[in-house]
Amino acid sequence: MRPHFAEYLATFVDVVRAGSFSGAARRRAVTPSVIVRQIDALEEDLGVALLIRSTRALTLTDAGQRLHERALRHLDELADTHAEVAAFDGSVSGMLRIACFPTFGKRYVLPVVAALQAEHPALHVGS
């Protein structure tokens, strides 16, 4: 599998959506030759033809149809994963439960907890 497999897969999906190399190229703001090279590399990597190319249209092969169906699911899942992980902005939230001796808590824990809560307002402390 080539290092740019996911990128080429996304390009392939764009080609299928656009119905042409030039349409996908406009969508990606590159030249059609870049798109053709990426599709050629994807086909070479997989060892199968994905598209039947004619002067009038592109048609998916059986392998291309299967790849397109699977690629849509995987690319959607990748986009969801990206959004989910990007949502982690470093903030801390939830309930922090602490159990310790009262004298230790007053002297050492409370000052730290106060600073934590000031820094992370969504953090709730309980015992």
Alpha helices in 87-122 (DSSP H): 102-104, 110-119
13: its two tokens: 């999906």
pLDDT digits (tens, 9 = 90+) for 68-120: 999 999 999 998 998 888 877 777 788 888 888 888 888 888 888 888 888 88
pLDDT digits (tens, 9 = 90+) for 54-67: 888 899 999 999 99
CATH code given to domain 5-86: 1.10.10.10
Q: Where in the chain are the domains?
A: 5-86, 94-126
CB atoms within 10 A of CB 8: 22
- Quote the CA–CA distance of 7 and 74 in Å, as a whole number: 12
| Length of the chain, in residues | 127
pLDDT digits (tens, 9 = 90+) for 16-55: 999 999 999 999 999 999 999 999 999 999 999 999 998 8
**Please, are residues 64 and 72 in contact by the beta-carbon 8 Å criterion?**
no
51 has which bridge partners? Answer: 60
Q: Taking Cα atoms as reference points, which of 123, 117, 125 lies closest to residue 99?
A: 125
